[in-house]
Amino acid sequence: MDADNLRQFGFVVTDGSSFFFDAATQGVASARVTDDRALTYVLQVDDPAHGFSLVTEVATDPDRPVVVVRAHLTGHTSNLQVYGYLVPHLGGSGAGQTAFFDGSRGYVNKRGLWLAVGGDTTKDQRTAGYLGHGDGYDQLHHDALTSRFRQAGPGRVTLTWKLNSGGGSWVTELAFGATRAAADGELDATEKVGAQGLFDAYRSGWRKYTSQLSAPAGDASLFFYSAEVIKMAEDKLHPGAIVASLARPWGDGASDDDGDVGYRKVWPRDLYHAASGLLAAGDTATAYDVLRFMGRQQRSDGSMPQNTDLNGTPVWTGQQLDETADAILLAVRLAGKASGPDIEKATSYLLGRGPATPQERWEEAGGYSPATIAAEIAALRAVERWEIATNQVVDRAVPIQDIVTQWDRSLESWTFTRTGSFGPGYYLRISPDGKPDTAEPIDIANGGGVWDQRQIVDPSFLELVRLGVRQPNDPRIVATLTVVDQQSAAGTMWYRYPRDGYGEKNTGSSPPGQGHVWPLLTAERGVYTVLAGGHGMPYELQLQSLAGADQLLGEQVWEGSGLPTGSARPLVWAHAEYIILAKAVATGTVDDRPA
């Protein structure tokens, strides 16, 4: 799930004399779900100038490392020629690869990894080449493959081939293996099943999965799809290892071989939300796998790492106490049903390190965070209940109850300012030293600048209500809502906080720039509204609108249009929050709220 083995695969269309059309970069692209009980799409790229459309469907072989692409042309298709174009990225880099054609197939290999390309290909109109140096893509800009080479590499290579598109349709298969024979064997087995048989098996597998789920009454399309997106992001060889997103934010502008796999890492916080969403949807088995994987992530001191690879080995080195608290909350909730993190070790770590956190949930600032402290208090209260229920006797110098009481009583003195310019009193995003009434400077990440801490508010404070630390109608909560809406709202969507620089300054650019609104914050606000006795449906409808025809919720969207930015999409956390919200709207209860 964290491997980047393909940089690009797509189709080029030409009439052989007057135009070149690259479906990856030209035309009008759209996507729509064809079955909300299965991860199936129709992808379409229209070329209004020449009156044709390229329609594509993709499926993976449920039993093999093979991707099957089925495509056809519609509209004015006479005299059109279609070519496949592949830019491999084996082992996370374009360098050092060798590509060649042999018989009816194309191949790429690099250090013990092979990619075999099969399907409806021709044996004459094809070439291996070097990316950006007169390869097939460059040649087709001049209407034909005039220089054809059987092999290219080692280097940054490409494959280009004419498709045998009799009747205007064709199938392409991409298979992986540790050897050429292994990749060929996988491809042979898939071809024996046939394209239609494989697409049927793929759909059937997803339908079997969703038949076990339980959705609220009404339009449950995005509910089912959200569960499927979460399940999709689980690595197939490491049960419970659900990555934060299959996307790399603004990855189209990334260098070819920097080694970063984007959000295809496993964050304990995102795992907690993923498991909570799946539990709300009725998938308990995957939630148990998540808990087991968390047990492999846990460090010897009881803490949870910022994130890990698929084996549970830490990658980034930050420390966020809400992630340790989240692991406790899930472990207590599923206690006795699956092994997981050591609750007592995690508890000792929280007691010894909290309540201030080196990083809050946005992974950017340290200090006293209302959201983090809410998670800590909720987790410690959960441990108290668990110890009583299981007759655990733990000899501590200071009882948990005493520490929880102290943190609860001190919460406002650490995080609630009464001297800020936005109102008589409100919670801050974070107070570095726990002195919210002072002009303490806070450094905003991604070039946001240095600001008085009292100028930075964040909807995350609503975790105090979500986790049962404060009541929905608490005057301090209500007052902060007013401030957050004044400073960070765009209708029923919210920014993380003022002056956020994580986002695009202009369309197509990458951070630092201008922060944009986050769909998951709409879901969190809807959850709060339900807890406060209000109507959460407007927030659910807003999220359905943001998901669009392809039913995907991203990290950020543009203000006004609601269209996705170049950030991660889909974002597992956002889909998990949608499930929780949809169920809360239907039942009036919030599924992941601690007892």
pLDDT digits (tens, 9 = 90+) for 506-552: 998 999 999 999 999 999 999 999 999 999 999 999 999 999 999 99
CA 210 to CA 218: how far, in whole Å? 16
Residues in CB range of 301: below 8 A, 6 or more apart? 345, 349
Clarify whether 360 is annotated catalytic: yes
Per-residue pLDDT of the chain (595 residues; tens, 9 = 90+): 998 899 999 999 999 898 999 999 999 999 999 999 999 999 999 999 999 999 999 999 999 999 999 999 999 888 899 999 999 999 989 999 999 999 999 999 999 999 999 999 888 899 999 999 999 999 999 988 999 999 999 999 999 999 987 668 999 999 999 999 999 999 999 999 999 999 999 999 999 999 999 999 888 999 999 999 999 999 999 999 999 999 999 988 888 888 889 999 999 999 999 999 999 999 999 999 999 999 999 999 999 999 999 999 999 999 999 999 999 999 999 999 999 999 999 999 999 999 999 999 999 999 999 999 999 999 999 999 999 999 988 888 899 999 999 999 999 999 999 999 999 999 999 999 999 999 999 999 999 999 999 999 999 999 999 999 999 999 999 999 999 999 999 999 999 999 999 999 999 899 999 999 999 999 999 999 999 999 999 999 999 999 999 999 999 999 989 999 999 999 999 999 999 999 999 999 999 999 8
CA 50 to CA 41: how far, in whole Å? 24
Residues in CB range of 465: below 8 A, 6 or more apart? 471, 472, 474, 477, 528, 531, 532
Q: Tell me phi and psi for residue 5, to 5 degrees.
A: -100, 0
| Three-class DSSP category at 176 | strand
Select which of 186, 234, 323, 360 is catalytic. Answer: 360
CA 534 to CA 266: how far, in whole Å? 34
Q: Tell me phi and psi for residue 88, to 5 degrees.
A: -75, 165
| Three-class DSSP category at 482 | helix
Average pLDDT, the chain: 95
Helix (H), strand (E) at residue 398: none
* 286 and 240 Cβ atoms separated by less than 8 Å: yes
CA 267 to CA 306: how far, in whole Å? 6
Select which of 191, 344, 363, 412 is catalytic. Answer: 363
Q: What is the pTM of this model?
A: 0.96
- Which strands, in side-by-side order, build the sheet including 20-22? 20-22, 6-14, 81-88, 157-163, 121-130
By CB neighbour count within 10 A (0-12 exposed, 13-18 middle, 19+ buried), where does 74 fall? Answer: middle
Q: Show the domains of the chain with their CATH numbers.
A: 6-207 (2.70.98.10), 212-587 (1.50.10.10)
State the helix-helix crossing angle for 321-333 and 268-281, rounded to 10 degrees.
Answer: 30
Beta-bridge mates of residue 452: 441
CA 261 to chain centre: 12
**CA quadruple 241, 247, 250, 252: dihedral, nearest 10:** 130
Residue 363 tokens read as 């992974």
* 593 and 581 Cβ atoms separated by less than 8 Å: no
Residue 24 tokens read as 């990856």
CA 129 to CA 159: how far, in whole Å? 6
Q: Tell me phi and psi for residue 322, to 5 degrees.
A: -65, -25
Say how many C-beta atoms besides its own lie within 10 A of residue 591's C-beta. Answer: 16
Say how many C-beta atoms besides its own lie within 10 A of residue 455's C-beta. Answer: 18
Residue 2 tokens read as 């964290």
Residues in CB range of 83: below 8 A, 6 or more apart? 11, 12, 13, 14, 125, 136, 140, 145, 160, 161, 162, 163
Inter-CA distances, 569 with 200, 226, 449, 556, Å: 26, 12, 27, 8
Helix (H), strand (E) at residue 12: strand 6-14
End-to-end CA distance of the chain: 34
Residue 399 tokens read as 């009882």
* 572 and 555 Cβ atoms separated by less than 8 Å: no
